[in-house]
Amino acid sequence: MKKATLIFLISLLSFSAKSQDLDLLILANSDANLLMKNYMSPIMEGMVYSLNNGWFHTAKTHKKAGFDVTFNVNLAIVPSSSQTFVFNEADYQYLTLESGSSTMNTVMGSNNSSVIGIRIPEANDYKVASFTLPDGIGDDITLNSVPSAMLQASVGLPFSTDISVRFLPKVKTNDTESNLIGIGIKHNLMQYFGPLDKLPLNIALFGGFTTMDATYNIQNSGLTGTNQEALFTFNTYTVQAIASLDFPIVSVYSAIGFDAGTSTLKLKGTYELQYTLAGSNTTVTESVTDPISLDYDTSSFTTSIGARFNLGFFKIYGDYTIKKYNTLSAGFAFSFR
C-alpha cells in the first residue's frame, strides 16, 4: 500500500521536478494562473475521475453485520485531447509565443520546446523574460494515466444496505504528505420485488463521496524564496445504479451513473523572481507571495462493466468505465457474509 501511495504522489507532483522555469512563469501575474490551469488540467481532472472509481464489485449487499475489506487501484486514462492545449496569445495580457508551436504539451503530455515571452509594463520600461513550460510526464506513467489507490471497508446494515469507508494511509516524507477519506452507501432494490429477490440478479443504488489533500514541499526544487509548497485538494462524488449477476464462482456487474468533483491547486510561499528591464538591460529581483490559485470543476456521465471471481471469501475483480477519462479499476477483497 505504501508503495502504491508513493507512486500516486510521484505522478501527481513530479511536474515541479521539471519546473526549472516555473519561477519565470510565476512572473506573469494573472497570466500565470491561466497558463498553469491549462498545463495542469489532466491531473486535476483525472484525479477526480480516478477517485470516483472502485467503490463496488457487485450490486449485492452484505447480510446484517457481514463485511469486506478491499484494496483497490484505479487508472484514469488521459485522452489525447487532454495531453496538449493551444496557446492562444489573445487570451493573455503579458505572454507571447516567441518560437515553436502554439500547440503545447500539458503535464500529461511529452516534452515542450516552444518558448514563451513575458513583457510586463514597469514605470517607463518593461519587465522582460522568456521560458519554456516544464516537460510532461505522460510517457513515464503506465497508460498515460492518473492513478489512485486506497483501502476500503464495507459493512452490512439492516434493510439490505451497505456502508463503505475508504481511506489512504497517511504517507509523509521529507517533501510530501497526503490524506484521503471517503464514505459511500449502497442499497439493494431487489427486496422490493417480491420473489424476484431469489434470483441471482441484484440491482442497487450507490452514492459515494471522497476527499483528498496532498502537500508537496517545493522549497528544495531550486526556486529562490521561503515556505514554498504546492497544495492539492480533491472533493469528488458519484451516484450510480448497479446491476449484477452473482453466481458462486463468478459475478458480472455493470453500472450507469454520474461523476463530478472539484479540485484546487495552490502555490504557497514567497518566490524571488529575476527579470530584465528592457530599456536599461539591468537585472531586477521581485518578491511574489502565494502566486498560483487554480480551481477546477469536473463532471461526466459514466458506464461501467466488470467481473469478479469468487474464491470463497477471497475475491478478485476488475472493471472498465467509459467517461471523459476512461478508467480501469482492479483489486481484491476479503468478504464475509
Q: Whole-model pTM above 0.95?
A: no
For 267-303, the pLDDT digits (tens) are: 888 888 878 888 778 888 888 888 889 999 999 999 9
pLDDT the model gives residue 17: 46
Residue in the block written with cell 469528488: 236
| Statement: residue 11 has pLDDT above 90 | no
Q: Provide CB contacts within 8 A for 252, sequence distance 6+.
A: 244, 245, 305, 306, 307, 308
- Determine the pLDDT at residue 168: 81
221 vs 229, more confident: 229
- In angstroms, the CA 308 to CA 330 distance is 10
Instruction: Average the pLDDT over each of 96-105, 124-133, 213-222, 238-247 and give the range with the smallest value.
Output: 213-222
CA atoms within 13 A on the CB side of 236: 28
Is residue 323 predicted with pLDDT exceeding 60? Answer: yes
Check whether 1 has a pLDDT greater than 90: no
Looking at residue 138, what is its pLDDT? 78
Q: Does 7 score more than 50 pLDDT?
A: no
CA-CA-CA-CA torsion sign (9, 12, 18, 24): negative
300 neighbors 261 (Cβ within 8 angstroms): no
Tell which residue, 269, 331, 285, has the closest CA to residue 16: 269
243 has pLDDT over 90: yes
* Confidence at residue 134, expressed as pLDDT on a 0 to 100 scale: 80
CB 306 within 8 A of CB 252: yes
**23-32, 167-176, 189-198, 260-269: which is most confident:** 260-269
Number of alpha helices (DSSP H) and beta strands (DSSP E) in the chain: 3, 16
Of the ranges 9-23, 63-77, 87-101, 263-277, which one carries the lowest mean pLDDT score? 9-23
* Total structural domains within the chain: 1
What is the predicted pLDDT for the residue at 3?
A: 40
Residue 136 confidence (pLDDT): 81
Which whole number is the average pLDDT over 240-267? 95
Say which CATH number the domain at 44 has: 2.40.128
Q: What residues contact 174, with CB distance under 8 A and at least 6 apart?
A: 217
Average pLDDT over residues 175-203: 88
Q: What is the pLDDT of residue 23?
A: 65
Supply the range of the domain harboring residue 24.
2-336
Burial of 311 (0-12, 13-18, 19+ CB in 10 A): exposed
pLDDT average, residue stretch 308-324: 95
Place of cell 470543476: 297
